[in-house]
Structure 1
Amino acid sequence: MGIILVVGSVLLAKTFILIGRPINSHVDQQAINQIDAVPTLFLPGYFGNRFSFGFLLRRLVKKYGANKSLVIIVDRHGKLRLIGDFVDYRCLIQVIFQDKRSRPKQQAEWLMRICDLLANRGVSTINFVGHSMGCITIFWFLTHHQHDIPVKVNRVITIAGPFNDSEIAKNTRDVEDYPIDSTGPQQKTAVYRALAKKVTAMPRGIKFLNIAGTISSSQQNDGQVSLTSAFSLRYLLRDPIIYYRELVIRGSRATHRLLHENRVVDAHIAKFIWNV
């Protein structure tokens, strides 16, 4: 038993290291169209780490010929440490915040530093994929730093975003599920109201794919975020006319923590970003 535990611990430690490192497809391809040439940044949720998107990124490399060529680690003071470099073809960038308790407002400021770095490296256009609180960080970034963003944001994928929850970094006793009608949520939380304040300032032309999960027909949530909260995003985006699509993932692998480990989600990410 002791030997098994030691071997298991070694394998876990090795996986932990590798999942936060670049991994390329080794497919010798040049971007033949503008879509393939746009790098995509992945932002984890609250208390997220390298595991948050690590396995998903590895699957995108293996199945879709993408390249997780760069990992950007943001320390507690906002200093950036880069592991790897850019590639021209389907570049995936994993963002890891060392301060696991940092909130969207702070993360959005650090995201500006990342975009400045990318612009200085010759990047002109980017995509975003966020999970849970990472969705809020992206939205805050787009609405509060819109005049300073040095790159164009092309496509955004939000996964299980708590857009109408009262707390974005802590689970409430019950999953918050406020009815929505043609005008939006019937009860708007402080989070929703804060996001709505500057939504008209969001850069134009961004395409959104909003993904949410339901565990069963009787449980219209992913265990932490309800469909109504996640899909409240559609009302935030309605004023600035923006391309917007919704996707519901159902079943046992549609829980909050498993949505980014769902192969159906993988396929829709690839389709939305690269049109494959």
Structure 2
Amino acid sequence: MVVLGVILSCLLLVVIVKIILLGRPRSSKTQTVRSTPLDQVPTLFLPGYLGNRFSFGFLQNRLVSKFNANKSMVIIVNRHGKLRVIGQMNDYRTMIQVLFKDKTSRPKQQAIWLLKICQLLEAEYHVSSVNLVGHSMGCITIFWYLTHEQAKSPISVKRVVAIAGPFNDSEIARSTPDVDAYPFNANGPVKRMPIYRALSQKIAAIPPEISVLNIAGKINDEQQNDGQVSLNSAFSLRYLLQQPAHYYREVVIRGKWATHRLLHENRLVDANIAKFIWGV
């Protein structure tokens, strides 16, 4: 029994350490042999509602292991918007994990904090451009930033990856009894929710050179959603971006690993991010 207790304690310690490390930098051990302009743009990862180090921690670890990326920095935003930086900037496939201490903060507030992060990256690390990756409500934060705060930023946004973005949901941070899936006509969703309307009013503010990859999940042919966000809600973004989008592509992930909470643990999502961001 004593031996078993020691083994269980050791296993628990290993699990705790791994959980802690999900919120810490991690660099690739592979020697960099070449670098392209795509490799030199840092990529920020923004979690969804109630998101934490788990939200993108495992995904970033896989990108480090398989695609020679570097999780160089973690930026923690406290409830008052003060930034704490862990790690140092890398010049090759840099990934930056953004963690909000106030996990219930809304996209409008998070977009202001994202502006502060961009200002810090330019002032302290001489960053001139970034990529942005968001999951769920994190997608709304990104597009609220692009439409309402980007003009104040000293750095540009090159590429955006939206994963399960609720762009035409009645609630963007809560589950509803029914998954919103309003049909489209030639002009977009036949019923437009407040968040869609708010973004559409300022969508022309998005710089035209931005490229967008929009990823959504479909559990099966009968269930055209990921359990929380429908394909129609996620892909309503295409109608918002008809004019300002330089490049726009949609990807549907299918199957049991395409649920809302598992999309960022799906290896197909990893591969699509790596190809879109770094061209690998």
Instruction: Please give the range of the TM-score, normalised by the shorter of the 2 chains.
Output: over 0.9
Counterpart check, 1:59 vs 2:62: yes
Whether the 8 Å contact between 2:69 and 2:94 is mirrored in structure 1 is yes
Q: Does 1:263 align with 2:267?
A: yes
**Correspondent of 2:186 among 182, 185, 204:** 182
Is residue 86 of structure 2 the alignment partner of residue 83 of structure 1?
Answer: yes
Offset at residue 7 of structure 1 (A): 4.4
- Structure 1 CA distance, aligned partners of 2:117 and 2:50? 20
Give the Å deviation of 1:32: 2.5
Contact 2:43 2:132 in 1 (8 A): yes
CA contact (8 A) 1:60 1:66 kept: yes
Matched, 1:198 2:202: yes
Q: Equivalents in 2 of 1:242, 1:232: separation in Å?
A: 17
Secondary structure in 1 aligned to 2:214?
strand
SS in 2 for 1:200: helix
Q: What secondary structure does 2:113 align onto?
A: helix
Q: 1:226 aligns with which of 199, 224, 230?
A: 230
Letter of the structure 2 residue corresponding to residue 91 of structure 1: T
Paired residue type of 2:64: V
Q: Distance in 2 between matches of 1:73 and 1:51?
A: 14
Please give the secondary structure, in 1, of the residue aligned with 2:75: strand
Identity of aligned pairs, percent?
Answer: 62
Q: For 2:114, give the aligned amino acid.
A: L
Pick from 90, 96, 100 the counterpart of residue 97 of structure 1: 100
Q: Is the 8 A contact 2:28 2:64 kept in 1?
A: yes
2:165 pairs with one of 158, 161, 167: 161
Structure 2: any 5+ residue segments left out of the alignment? none
1:245 is displaced (CA, Å) by: 0.3
CA–CA distance in 1 between the matches of 2:237 and 2:196?
Answer: 9
Answer yes or no: is the 8 Å Cα contact 1:31–1:89 preserved in 2.
Answer: no
The one of 246, 253, 269 aligned to 2:250: 246
Q: TM-score, normalised by structure 2?
A: 0.95
Q: What SS does the aligned partner of 1:240 have?
A: coil
Give 1:129 deviation, angstroms.
Answer: 0.4
CA distance in 2, matches of 1:230, 1:170: 15
Q: Distance in 2 between matches of 1:92 and 1:36?
A: 11
Farther off after superposition, 239-248 or 122-131: 239-248
> Structure 1 residue 41 and structure 2 residue 67: aligned?
no
* Secondary structure, counterpart of 2:150 in structure 1: coil
Structure 1 gaps of 5+ residues are: none
Partner Cα separation in structure 2 for residue 138 and residue 220 of structure 1: 24
Q: Hey, what does 2:22 align to over in structure 1?
A: 19
Give me the whole-angstrom Cα distance separating, in 2, the residues matched to 1:224 and 1:202.
Answer: 27
- 1:9, 1:164 → 2: CA distance? 42
Counterpart for residue 216 of structure 2: 212
AA aligned to 1:239 is: Q
Q: TM-score, normalised by structure 1?
A: 0.97
Deviation, structure 1 residue 239: 2.6
Matched position secondary structure for 2:145 = helix
**CA shift digits 1:6-46 (9 cap, x unpaired):** 44543332122111110000233276221100000000000
Tell me, what secondary structure is at the counterpart of 1:221?
coil
Question: Structure 1 residues 8, 178: closer, same or farther in 2, change over 3 A?
Answer: farther
Q: Is the 8 A contact 2:210 2:245 kept in 1?
A: no
The reply to whether residue 125 of structure 1 matches residue 94 of structure 2 is no
Alpha-carbon RMSD across the aligned residues, in angstroms, is 1.4
CA contact (8 A) 2:118 2:155 kept: yes
Kept in 2, the 8 Å contact 1:211–1:248? The answer is yes
